[in-house]
Chain A
Amino acid sequence: MTGQANDAQSVLGACRLGDNADDLYETLLGAHAGLDASASAALNARLVLILMNAVGDEATVRAAIRAARADRVPPAPDDDR
């Protein structure tokens, strides 16, 4: 794994929401209030795209996708993409 991906991985796992974590989590749930499953999925898709663009950095986005997909199993040592 490259240093860049290592950095991205540690950024992803670190606590960055501070004292507002509970508030933000509740806001996220609140955004889904009253939506059926498909409307909720559509909201999430828009949100993922917006956040992906906000993050911008390619290594971080790739690492985030990997982390979400791999059920928190760390990537193989030679996986630098």
Chain B
Amino acid sequence: MSRYRHKPFPYTTPPELSGGKPFEAPVVIVGAGPIGLSAAIDLAQHGVASVVLDENNVVTVGSRAICWAKRTLEIFDRLGVGERMREKGVTWQAGRLFHRDREVYHFDLMTEPGHRNPAFINLQQYYVEAYLIDRCADFAGLIDLRWNNRVTGVEQSRDSVRVRVETPDGGYDIEADYLLACDGARSTVRSSVGLDFAGEIFWDRFLIADVEMEADFPSERWFWFEPTFHSGQSALLHKQPDNIYRIDLQLGWDADPGEEKKPENVVPRIQAMFGDRDFKLEWVSLYTFQCRRLERFVHDHVIFLGDSAHLVSPFGARGGNGGIQDVDNLCWKLAAVIDGRAPAALLDSYDEERCHAADENILNSTRATRFMTPDDDAERLFRDAVLALAEDMPFARQLINSGRPSKPCSLAGMALQSDDDEGFDTPVVPGTACPDAVVAEGSRPGWLLDHLGGAFKLLSFGDDPARHDGLGTVCINDLPVDGCTTLRDVDGLVAERYGADPGAAYLIRPDQHVAARFRNPTPQAIGKALARASGKAMEQRS
């Protein structure tokens, strides 16, 4: 099986220094990781140009973020990269939990059929970045990807933001309407703007290793508390593509990071885990986990996404997935503001919606980390009691927390969403990420989500579907309806999941979230919900 080969991307002298034709872009993105690259693609799909600055010239070394959740994959589909990720990634939805050498718990995250994407795929971050970089090339006129361009300073004025950049050829300034800080946990932009990054640090160290070996472990998440093969408190095993396994070993706070990283100390730990088996150590890192977030993500013309905005422990896969969902939430709003279709106040809804999501992620990840790294005697006492009971008592299994898997966060009740229409009895209330379903367009089978998103759309039901001026209509009906994308509900899953009778309609946001739903839609009601979801009802910021 072919492995990823890190090749440097070519640095070219930026036009500001070469005297070439300047690349006009309203947005500068700092950081070409999964978040920055996804943002560039999403903006480009909305017709908005960006310059992406990255201080390095290779994709990340080491697997780093590997678990990509269903909602993230749906966003990757919208960005045109989902297929490739799925093809390469290791699909999984089940996991096993062991206490010492006994299995105490087995879970399956998805049993419902009729979704294109699985609960998770495992795919090394370097592949994710490489595929996103390839996708950026499809938007040559809209994305200017600049390697070896290091940001050294950020300055805001009333109407714009100015960025100081250093390159191998010297420094230059670039000005933009908006700067997206996607530069990670140690964000230069965040420190340039001088923002407090408050939170909690967990006094523990984890060894993370990528190991290449021939093995037939199933595609499942395996987690051990007090493993017999390792003296620490926990161990985690994930399968990745290319016969690479990710191993997380909890070492405790007293572990010496410099010593523990040495192969002569790592190899015996892996041997203890897998016995006498040939393996090759690919990458080793030592981590300490923190949960932090900025108080606000939007600071006038500087907007924070991903790890620069919020940090979580990795248990539950909420870091990379949270960041991609930031992108999904922000980019259509930013494009509307830049195009003059929405007031700048629409960006406040990014703060409202994604701060809430970050809090949910931090809460879950803090709970998991606390279970794995008990803070004091009482926490340890109860943690051990839960593990002791789990084998015989199902209720205790439910309390074991090795990370609650990332789920899309509900935006119900927030500024952009209309009140629910009481005529529905399905849980797809305004603020919910749209559930997928099998559909057919004519004779061509496909997925509902492929037809939603990108712009506001009406999802209407029946042969006389609700429509609205300027909105694309996706109509669920057996026979084609003029002027609509008509989809057949082949397995009845759309009707089941959306609980909609003929005549009903859903207003869907460009990020595939429900903005409003109507049992008996009227143009007035749709217009009002659309204005609200577009930020027209939000107060202008002073």
Task: List residues of chain A with CB under 8 Å of any chain B CB.
Answer: 41-42, 45-46, 48-50, 53
Contact = CB atoms under 8 A, between A and B. Distances in A.
Contacts of A46: 385, 388-389
Return the 7 tightest CB-CB contacts between A and B, nearest first: A45-B385, A53-B395, A46-B385, A45-B381, A45-B382, A49-B385, A41-B381
B69 interface: no
**Chain B CB within 10 A, most for which of A45, A50, A53:** A45
B399 interface: yes
B215 interface: no
A73 B203 CA distance: 35
Q: Does more than half of chain B's interface fall in helix, strand or loop, or is it mixed?
A: helix
Contacts of B384: 42, 45
Given A45-B384, A53-B393, 11 more contacts: A41-B381, A42-B381, A42-B384, A42-B385, A42-B388, A45-B385, A48-B382, A49-B382, A49-B385, A49-B389, A50-B393
A18 to B, nearest CB: 27
25 contacts: A41-B381, A42-B381, A42-B384, A42-B385, A42-B388, A45-B381, A45-B382, A45-B384, A45-B385, A46-B385, A46-B388, A46-B389, A48-B382, A48-B385, A49-B382, A49-B385, A49-B386, A49-B389, A49-B396, A49-B399, A50-B389, A50-B393, A53-B393, A53-B395, A53-B396
A48 B384 CA distance: 13
**Chain A CB within 10 A, most for which of B384, B385, B386, B393:** B385
Interface string B373-400: 0000000011011101100010110010
B380 to A, nearest CB: 10
Nearest to B399: A49
Contacts of A42: 381, 384-385, 388
B contact residues, range: 10 to 19
A46 B389 CA distance: 7
Contacts of B399: 49
A42 B386 CA distance: 10
A46 B399 CA distance: 13
A50 to B, nearest CB: 7
A42 B393 CA distance: 16
Contacts of A48: 382, 385
Contacts of B382: 45, 48-49
Nearest to A56: B395
A25 B427 CA distance: 47
A48 to B, nearest CB: 8
Contacts of A45: 381-382, 384-385
Contacts of B388: 42, 46
A45 B399 CA distance: 14
**Chain B CB within 10 A, most for which of A42, A46, A48:** A46
A46 B396 CA distance: 10
A22 to B, nearest CB: 27
Nearest to B386: A49
A41 B379 CA distance: 12
A40 B218 CA distance: 40
B178 to A, nearest CB: 41
A49 B395 CA distance: 9
Contacts of B381: 41-42, 45
A50 B399 CA distance: 12
Contacts of B389: 46, 49-50
A49 B385 CA distance: 8
Nearest to B396: A49
A36 to B, nearest CB: 14
Contacts of A53: 393, 395-396
Nearest to B377: A41
A58 to B, nearest CB: 14
A78 B396 CA distance: 32
A28 to B, nearest CB: 16
B181 to A, nearest CB: 37
A51 to B, nearest CB: 11
Contacts of B385: 42, 45-46, 48-49
A53 B390 CA distance: 13
A41 B388 CA distance: 14
A53 B381 CA distance: 17
A37 to B, nearest CB: 11
Nearest to A52: B395
Interface string B393-436: 10110010000000000000000000000000000000000000
Nearest to A53: B395
B398 to A, nearest CB: 9
A45 B393 CA distance: 15
A48 B385 CA distance: 9
A46 B390 CA distance: 10
Contacts of B386: 49
A42 B377 CA distance: 11
